[in-house]
Amino acid sequence: MIFADRMDEVKASAIRAVGKIIAQKKGVISFAAGLPDPTLFPFDEMHAVTDKLLKEDAMVALQYGPTQGHGPLLEKLCTLLKERDNVDAKSENLIITTGSQQGISFCSMIMLNPGDVVITENPSYLGAINAFRPYQCNFVGVDIDEDGMIMEDLEKALQENPNTKMIYVIPNFQNPTGKTWSKERCEKLIELANKYDVIVIEDDPYGQLRFRGESVPTLKSMDTQERVISLGSFSKVLCPGLRVAWMCGSKDMIEKVELLKQGADLQCNQLAQMQVLEFLNNYDFEKHIDKIRTAYGNKCQLMLDTMKAEFPPEAKYTEPEGGMFVWVELPGHIDTTELLNKAIESNVAFVPGESFYPLCDCKSSLRLNFTTVSEENIVEGIKILGSVLKEEIKSSQA
Amino acid sequence: MIFADRMDEVKASAIRAVGKIIAQKKGVISFAAGLPDPTLFPFDEMHAVTDKLLKEDAMVALQYGPTQGHGPLLEKLCTLLKERDNVDAKSENLIITTGSQQGISFCSMIMLNPGDVVITENPSYLGAINAFRPYQCNFVGVDIDEDGMIMEDLEKALQENPNTKMIYVIPNFQNPTGKTWSKERCEKLIELANKYDVIVIEDDPYGQLRFRGESVPTLKSMDTQERVISLGSFSKVLCPGLRVAWMCGSKDMIEKVELLKQGADLQCNQLAQMQVLEFLNNYDFEKHIDKIRTAYGNKCQLMLDTMKAEFPPEAKYTEPEGGMFVWVELPGHIDTTELLNKAIESNVAFVPGESFYPLCDCKSSLRLNFTTVSEENIVEGIKILGSVLKEEIKSSQA
């Protein structure tokens, strides 16, 4: 069987690879996941809204619906985006997607010719990098510091790559680093995107999960040229299993995406869209998110406190203001893909950092998730990982 | 904004276009839909299984799950495929997709380089044609008669197009024609696919909806070279709003599709997969389908009887043994896209046949759906359409 050329670019997710290794060994404390804490799902509320829908509106909930999405949900999203993100969107600016993952995939499909350049943060979300790959683009990674992407480096990248089509960024509590962009960096990004005439994809699954500090305006709210495509999702603030997310962009762009979606999968699950809408209409969404923020803030602080006590000084790590991840950078000669085997032998797991770099050119970092691990296991697992790191650094210096 | 070259190929669905016209005019009897009859959905059963899942298993149902699909559903499908279609499949041969539409899209993405040839029945499902288009392939349509694709024409097409990658067919009660392939044609297709080393995509959403005649073995059951990718779906036999369907193929191919799906949308709705599984485990699926068969068989017969009485002799039409559609062929000089406007003025609608032809080179046919129209409206609508057709033929002869 001869596959299409694009399949040469497609890679397996490193996160899934780690998952498979862990599944074969019991007793591993895993910081490798990227899942929300399922004990925080609004079980009773979801049960109640679903019960109501299947009693009163099952003929609609179980039937085909519009490709663009359930009309009343689109309208509700317009209100939400205005109130929350100061974004003026009409229904025609929105389309419902199967997770933001599908939004990233559609952005690629609609925009990328083979050889086009995609600029990402370096490192960036590996699921996005893998979504771009089949479109045979070239990647340019731009380094980030504590305030986000370094703008001098970005402008240099734009100058050197005139065939850049888009810049993909996660400004809030980025996956994998947990870093957040400053308002100044966001404004500068928009300025450069306008100057060099490129599209910006703003992926914001974690934006609502801020447990410390001041929130930063969204890129979409700063966009005066319909240049930003923003991706939002209910996966991290409600339930990911429903797969309800959205894209927000220009009418012209959304119309094209709608045509693509007709061919790609016709539409998202109809019941799930109505479940989300009913939840939003009947319950206090902000109060629910607040519960998640508090829980994640506590877990994050516990992880950071334990790291402070247990990690060797050579290990540098981020101190996120929200989201789900802490990022650890080790001395450059340490290969965390190799280190993972030793860690799993000691019953602790993480995701090696390599695959978060679009060019896979940095091997000495790793990602830790704090949302799905119990407080007890956070302490225990970080202690073990601290020992593994100390041993590794010691033996590499010997 | 500069879109990718592939977007030049993407077209709007003609069915949706008709839908939008009808939505603006009240009182139109529409045979244009392609939806199952929602009054036949198993409401009480779906309510009961959903209630159970959200009580007992919500932590799994609302959380992320495997990209390939919910494990127990994959296992259940293996049993179903063995019992029903005589297909030997293991879980590794299956992946859950968002409708068969996503299966068609993945087949394109995994196989097609720009310029590759896709052979389809002529006419074929327009949603498939539109799913292939963004992959910049070339189409060759092979005519069908009452026994399916004409094999002499297929072999000629394969000889003339050495860069043919795949043959896409709907052997049972095809959309749009309602025609069904004979066993001999199916066997010959497999023989030719083996000889010319091409992939066969067997799209079978309607196979269970036979209300007359003898069933024909699936192409997948005749496949000895792992050359057939078969697409199945619960949309037409349970509820389309859940968007649960599957692809069945070689382990090698399914692994590639799983990688694509990681990038495309991570996974299907988890709750929906569990709803389908619970339904299959707790209720008599065959009995439920039997109810649909009887209802559709009656409506189809009523439509055919009314057509016999009301249509002019120049209108030729199929007499399907199952599925959801009747296909009408008019004298070649009649353009049904133009005729649709006159029909809508008279308060009846259909889908013009043109867009079901991959090369859009036949304008004189039309598709009628009988599943979502009431018996009263079938009689009334066909009477009106009969008058419109008689008038059109009369005036075109004048």
The pLDDT tens digits of the residues spanning A190-246 come to 999 999 999 999 999 999 999 999 999 999 999 999 999 999 999 999 999 999 999
- For B116-166, what is the HEC assignment? CEEEEEECCCHHHHHHHHHHCCEEEEEEEECCEECHHHHHHHHHHCCCEEE
Q: Which two tokens stand for residue B37?
A: 């009859």
| Cβ proximity of B173 and B292 under 8 Å | no
Distance CA B360, CA B364 (A): 11
Q: Which chain B residues have a beta carbon less than 8 Å from that of A52? A: none
Q: Determine whether the interchain pair A1/B199 forms a contact, defined as Cβ–Cβ distance below 8 Å.
A: yes
Q: Is residue A297 scored above 90 in pLDDT? A: yes
Angle between helices B270-282 and B71-85 (to 10 degrees): 50
The predicted structure's pLDDT at residue B1: 61
Mutation target vs B (from A265, A267, A270; most B CBs, 10 A cutoff): A265
Distance CA A21, CA A344 (A): 9
Residue A284, C-beta contacts closer than 8 angstroms, at least 6 positions apart: none
Q: Which chain B residues have a beta carbon less than 8 Å from that of A132? A: 263
| Cβ proximity of B105 and A265 under 8 Å | yes
Question: Which secondary structure element, helix H or strand E, spans residue B325, and what is its range?
Answer: strand B325-329
* CB proximity B107 to A under 8 Å: no
Distance CA B159, CA B143 (A): 16
Q: Determine whether the interchain pair A239/B63 forms a contact, defined as Cβ–Cβ distance below 8 Å.
A: yes
Q: Reply yes or no: is the peptide bond before residue A176 cis, omega within 30 of 0.
A: yes
The dihedral formed by the CA atoms of B54, B55, B59 and B62, expressed in degrees to the nearest 10 = 10
Q: Determine whether the interchain pair B6/A109 forms a contact, defined as Cβ–Cβ distance below 8 Å.
A: yes
Q: Which chain B residues have a beta carbon less than 8 Å from that of A16? A: 67, 262
Q: Pick the residue from chain A with its C-alpha nearest to B200.
A: A1
Distance CA A122, CA A354 (A): 11
Give strand pairing partners of B352.
B366
Q: Which two tokens stand for residue A33?
A: 């996941």
Between strands A365-369 and A351-352, the pairing is antiparallel
Instruction: Kindly state the percentage of chain B with pLDDT values over 70.
Output: 100
Q: Determine whether the interchain pair B271/A272 forms a contact, defined as Cβ–Cβ distance below 8 Å.
A: yes
Q: How confident is the model at residue A1 (pLDDT cuts 50, 70, 90)?
A: low
**CA count, 13 A, side-chain hemisphere, B160:** 13
The predicted structure's pLDDT at residue A18: 82
Q: Which chain A residues have a beta carbon less than 8 Å from that of B118? A: none
The predicted structure's pLDDT at residue A2: 82
Q: Pick the residue from chain A with its C-alpha nearest to B58.
A: A43
Q: Kindly report the backbone phi and psi dihedral angles of residue A168, in degrees, each rounded to the nearest multiple of 5, phi listed first.
A: -105, 120
Give strand pairing partners of B317.
B328
Straight-line distance from the first to the last Cα atom of chain A, in angstroms, rounded to the nearest whole number? 51
Question: What sections of chain A are H helices per DSSP?
Answer: 14-23, 43-56, 58-61, 71-85, 99-111, 126-132, 151-160, 183-196, 251-264, 270-282, 285-310, 336-345, 375-397
Instruction: Kindly state the percentage of chain A with pLDDT values over 90.
Output: 92
Which of these, B117, B118, B178, lies nearest to B144 by C-alpha position? B178
Distance of CA A326 to the CA centre of its chain: 13
Q: Determine whether the interchain pair B111/A4 forms a contact, defined as Cβ–Cβ distance below 8 Å.
A: yes
Q: Which two tokens stand for residue B187?
A: 């066997």
Q: Which two tokens stand for residue B386?
A: 């009969």
Which positions 282-321 of A are in contact with B (Cβ < 8 Å)? Answer: none
- The mean of the pLDDT values for chain A is 96
Q: What is the SS3 assignment for A1?
A: coil
Q: Which chain A residues have a beta carbon less than 8 Å from that of B278? A: none
Q: Determine whether the interchain pair B105/A269 forms a contact, defined as Cβ–Cβ distance below 8 Å.
A: no
Point out the residue among B43, B116, B243 whose CB comes nearest to the CB of A58: B43
Q: Determine whether the interchain pair A3/B256 forms a contact, defined as Cβ–Cβ distance below 8 Å.
A: yes
Distance CA B246, CA B299 (A): 29
Which positions 109-128 of A are in contact with B (Cβ < 8 Å)? Answer: 109-113, 116, 127
Distance CA A168, CA A104 (A): 9
A106 to chain B nearest CA, in Å?
Answer: 8
pLDDT tens digits along B64-107: 999 999 999 999 999 999 999 999 999 999 999 999 999 999 99
pLDDT tens digits along A126-183: 999 999 999 999 999 999 999 999 999 999 999 999 999 999 999 999 999 999 999 9
Q: Determine whether the interchain pair A269/B242 forms a contact, defined as Cβ–Cβ distance below 8 Å.
A: yes
Query: How confident is the model over A312-324, as a mean pLDDT?
Result: 97
- For B232-286, what is the HEC assignment? EECCCCCCHHHCCEEEECCHHHHHHHHHHHHHHCCCCCHHHHHHHHHHHHHCCHH
Q: Determine whether the interchain pair A63/B239 forms a contact, defined as Cβ–Cβ distance below 8 Å.
A: yes
Question: What sections of B57-134 are H helices per DSSP?
Answer: 58-61, 71-85, 99-111, 126-132
Q: What is the SS3 assignment for B43?
A: helix
Which positions 269-288 of B are in contact with A (Cβ < 8 Å)? Answer: 269-272
Q: Which chain A residues have a beta carbon less than 8 Å from that of B369? A: none
DSSP single-letter state for residue B65: -
Q: What is the DSSP string of A307-344?
A: HHHHS-TT-EE---SBSSEEEEE--TT--HHHHHHHHH
Q: Determine whether the interchain pair A265/B243 forms a contact, defined as Cβ–Cβ distance below 8 Å.
A: yes
Whether complex ipTM tops 0.90:
yes
Give strand pairing partners of B167.
B119, B200
Q: Tens of pLDDT along chain B (398 residues)?
A: 689 999 998 887 777 778 878 878 889 999 998 999 999 999 999 999 999 999 999 999 999 999 999 999 999 999 999 999 999 999 999 999 999 999 999 999 999 999 999 999 999 999 999 999 999 999 999 999 999 999 999 999 999 999 999 999 999 999 999 999 999 999 999 999 999 999 999 999 999 999 999 999 999 999 999 999 999 999 999 999 999 999 999 999 999 999 999 999 999 999 999 999 999 999 999 999 999 999 999 999 999 999 999 999 999 999 999 999 999 999 999 999 999 999 999 999 999 999 899 998 899 999 999 999 999 999 999 999 999 999 999 998 87
| Cβ proximity of A139 and A129 under 8 Å | yes
Which positions 4-23 of B are in contact with A (Cβ < 8 Å)? Answer: 4-7, 10-13, 16
Q: Which chain B residues have a beta carbon less than 8 Å from that of A63? A: 35-36, 38, 41, 239-241
Q: Which domains does chain A have, with CATH numbers?
A: 5-41+287-397 (3.90.1150.10), 43-282 (3.40.640.10)
Distance CA A1, CA A127 (A): 27
* Sheet containing strand B148-149, strands side by side: B94-97, B245-248, B228-233, B199-203, B164-169, B117-122, B138-145, B148-149
